[in-house]
Amino acid sequence: MAIDLQQIGKRFRFYTNIKELEMPQLLEMTGSDEAVLANIISGKNYLLDELVAILKHFHDLNPQWLIYGEGSMFKPMDENGACKDNHKGCLKKDKAAYLKQMQNMLIELDAAEVAKGHHADVDALKAKLDEYKASHPQD
């Protein structure tokens, strides 16, 4: 399976938007060079080793989804709501202000995946957003 740097960048941007992470926070969390992070986010040339070094700082992010668009964005949760790798809080508290932005990004990701012939599980993400929207009407 070929690796598409632009798709990885779009998925990583989607993830960081959901987690409400800006560049200064990403730099602090990862200890990475700003140029490397900027290249990953923009889908420009970077080494896979650089991506792997950054991924280890995001305990809830499913690398299979990020790299190939397969499976769920987040690693599976246990019965206590923690990631299976024992890190609490896989998702920051959801905020309704981001709902529309996330829906637009899902549409963009879905269109890009379809155009590339990939069949990611975007419908599951859409269903989760719809479920959140239904359960938080006043947010």
Average pLDDT of the segment spanning 30-56:
91
Cα separation, 129 vs 52, in Å, equals 28
DSSP state of 138: T
Please give the pLDDT value at position 91.
46
Select the more confidently predicted residue: 126 or 58. Answer: 58
49-97, pLDDT tens digit by residue? 899 999 999 989 999 899 988 888 888 765 555 555 444 444 444 455 4
Please report which confidence band the pLDDT of residue 118 belongs to, taking 50, 70 and 90 as the band edges: low
DSSP state of 74: B
Please report which confidence band the pLDDT of residue 11 belongs to, taking 50, 70 and 90 as the band edges: very high
- Block residue for tokens 């246990």: 78
23 is in which domain, residue-wise? 5-135
Cα separation, 72 vs 123, in Å, equals 10
The mean predicted confidence, pLDDT, of the chain is 77
Select the more confidently predicted residue: 12 or 131. Answer: 12
Least confident of 20-34, 56-70, 80-94, 115-129: 80-94
Select the more confidently predicted residue: 115 or 80. Answer: 115
Q: Report the domain count for the chain.
A: 1
Give the CATH number of the domain where residue 46 resides.
1.10.260.40
